[in-house]
Every structure is written in C-alpha cells, then in structure tokens.
Amino acid sequence: MSVERGLFLTFEGIEGAGKTSNLQHAKALIEASGKTVIVSREPGGTEVGEKIREVLLNPELPAMHSDTELLLMFASRAEHYRHKILPALVKGDWVLSDRFTDASFAYQGGGRAIDTTRITTLEDWVLGKFKVDKTFLFDLPVALGLSRAKARGAADRIEQEEAAFFERIRDCYLDRAAHEPMRFSVIDASQSLDSVQQQVEQAVQVLVNKPAT
C-alpha cells in the first residue's frame, strides 16, 4: 500500500511577525487531526544547518558579502531538504518550516538587492521541481515587528539592519503573495495573538479537511 505524501507548510514574515508562536499553534491543530508533524526552521533544521545558522546570525563576525549570505542560506537549505524535509514527506509526515526559499527572495533579493534570476538558479539547483504546499505570510508594519523582536531579546546580525531594509523585505513578500494567491495565506499579524491564531486556524482547517489528491 502506497503512503500518501505529507504536506510541506512554511511560515514567513519580517522579524517579530509571530511566525514561531503561530507555527506551534498550527502544529497542535494538525496533530489533533491525527497527523505526525515535524517542526523545523531555516537557516538550520539539521546538525550541519544549525552550524551554518550560527555563522549567518553571529553579530560579532566581520561584514559578510551578500553573495556569501545567499549561498550559505542555500547550503543550509540543501542539507535541510535532502536530509530532513524530503524523507519526512515521503513517510507521510507533515513538515512545518519556520522560513524557507521565500525568505531568500525577500531578504537577499528584496533586502540586499541580489538579482532574483541568481536566486531562481539556486532554487532550481537545490530543489528542482519541489514546491511548498502552503505558505503563511505573517504581515505587519515594520516598526511593530521590530519592536516585538526587540522586546524578545538581543538583535542578531540581520536584525541589526535599518528599517528601510525590512520595508523592502515586506514589499517583496507581499508581491510574491500577490503572484501566488493559491499558495499564500496572508495573515494580518498586527492583531492580538488570539486573533492571529484564529486566522491561522481557519487556513489550517482547510488543509486538514482537504481530500487527498
């Protein structure tokens, strides 16, 4: 008997958007429907990927070239995809990832102004035809996101960027969502946590109740 492939869901947004908090909420909802859920993150998600993450986010290292940053994001992703995401999906588990390739388009493409054709080339190389099933984009004004992130703890290397950098990232995320409305669920993350969780619940229920294709 063949096993039905699990779904791959990603959680995206600027700093402090509430991805991590809501990912845990989505996990509980999906598990309640009887599925096995693997939670992961990028950069990171594997032993090698977590080492790459330490380098990427370390505020004490000298300035990193934007190409290096992009390539390290994809090095972490190659490891994550081959060793964690794909094996879990094939087993029928669902995988929830705190960030994925949309973050490279938004941060390195929008934020750092790297030509998106170069990012697409890396995407094709590392992921081939693999596609995300659903992306939750937590959208909120940059100032609110940064104030939430700041209240949570010390800024990492990327969080130290100026507000204009995050405005470009937010615009890029919204642009991607507008171009792929079936894949993206845009969540108004400026609301209270309760209200944001209700929006997530509605979108997750649709996925959980969807008949297998």
Provide the binding-site residues for ligand T5A, judged by CB under 6 A.
Answer: 13, 15-21, 41-43, 73, 98-99, 103-104, 107-108, 148-149, 152, 158-159, 189, 192-193, 196
Please give the torsion angle defined by the CA atoms of residues 78, 26, 8 and 82, in that order, rounded to the nearest 10 degrees.
Answer: 30
Of 78, 29, 28, 26, nearest in space to 49 by CA: 78
Q: How far is the CB of 181 from ligand T5A (least distance, A)?
A: 22
Tell me how far apart the alpha carbons of residues 72 and 42 are, in angstroms, rounded to a whole number.
Answer: 11
In the complex with ligand T5A, the residue whose CB is nearer, 92 or 149, is: 149
CB of 37 closer than 8 Å to CB of 93: yes
Cβ at position 211, least distance to ligand T5A in Å: 32
Contacts of 24 (CB under 8 A, 6+ apart): 39
Q: Is the CB of 34 or the CB of 153 nearer to ligand T5A?
A: 153
Shortest distance in whole angstroms from residue 3 CB to ligand T5A: 28
Amino acid occupying residue 13:
G
Please say which residue, 79 or 159, places its beta carbon nearer to ligand T5A: 159
Residue 166, classified by CB atoms within 10 Å of its CB into exposed (0-12), middle (13-18) or buried (19+), is: buried
| Shortest Å distance, C-beta 182 to ligand T5A | 22
Query: H helices of 114-212, where?
Result: 116-127, 142-152, 163-179, 193-209
Q: How far is the CB of 6 from ligand T5A (least distance, A)?
A: 21
CB 7, CB 97: distance < 8 Å: no
CB-nearer residue toward ligand T5A: 98 or 139? 98
Shortest separation between residue 213's beta carbon and ligand T5A, angstroms: 28
For ligand T5A, the closer of residues 92 and 133 by Cβ is: 133
**Closer CB to ligand T5A, residue 92 or residue 112?**
112
Residue 8 CA: distances (Å) to CA of 17, 75, 85, 116: 20, 19, 8, 23
